[in-house]
Structure formats: structure tokens, C-alpha cells
Amino acid sequence: AQKVTQAQTEISVVEKEDVTLDCVYETRDTTYYLFWYKQPPSGELVFLIRRNSFDEQNEISGRYSWNFQKSTSSFNFTITASQVVDSAVYFCALRGYGGSQGNLIFGKGTKLSVKP
């Protein structure tokens, strides 16, 4: 079975703090894809990143960085110098090799509150 666990339900930080959102996944597929989505207060989910299982390179995009470690089945997301606009619910998701194109397995999400 495939599963995504986001153990942190809610996180609250003060602006400019660094924050890491944890994501642990389970799959028996050797080829799979991992994603992060952001859900701002407006409600829509916004695509942030996609990683395939053969690419363990960490990625940095501005203040955002992602740490993919197959050994621990984790795909953690770090926001550096957080800002109020980062306040949102963040979802980690998994798609196995055999999954249809849009059949993503989501975690329950982590609600991040960044206070000024």
C-alpha cells in the first residue's frame, strides 16, 4: 500500500525563522514521484515541486529547499527566513509508477502559521 505521513498537523513560527515540514512516504514501487503543494487561504492547491525516485539531489528555489532521502523515505521541505505570506497548508503527495497520471496520494497536510 502507498501512504504519505505528515506528522506535523500545525506549526507556528515567527517571521524570519526557518521552518522544516516533514514528509514520510511508503511505497513498494521502485519508481515513484513525490510532490509538494501549497494551499493558501484562497483554497486552491498550488504546485511547488516534483521529484522522481531516481533523483536524490536536493533542490533549492529561493527561500524554499527540499531534502529527498530514500534511505529514510523522507521528502522534507524547508522554508528559510519565513514570511507571513508563507502561511498556508502544505501537502506532500506521492504517485507510484503504476498510478494513473493524476492519482496522487496526499498526506493530511501541515498548517503553517507565520506570525509577524
Partner 1 sequence: EAGVTQFPSHSVIEKGQTVTLRCDPISGHDNLYWYRRVMGKEIKFLLHFVKESKQDESGMPNNRFLAERTGGTYSTLKVQPAELEDSGVYFCASSQVGGAIIGELFFGEGSRLTVL
CB of 77 to partner 1, least distance (A): 15
Contact 64, 18 (CB under 8 A): no
CB of 114 to partner 1, least distance (A): 22
CB of 116 to partner 1, least distance (A): 26
Of 79 and 96, nearer to partner 1 (C-beta) is: 96
**What is the contact surface with partner 1 in residues (CB under 8 A)?**
4, 33, 35, 37, 42-47, 50, 91, 93, 95, 100-109
Alpha helices in the chain (DSSP H): none
Of 16 and 50, nearer to partner 1 (C-beta) is: 50
Of 4 and 82, nearer to partner 1 (C-beta) is: 4
Of 79 and 94, nearer to partner 1 (C-beta) is: 94
CB of 107 to partner 1, least distance (A): 6
Question: DSSP states of the chain as a string?
Answer: --EEE---SEEEEETT--EEE--EEE-S-SSEEEEEEEE-TT---EEEEEEETT----EEETTEEEEEEGGGTEEEEEESS--GGG-EEEEEEEEETTS-TT--EE---EEEEEE-
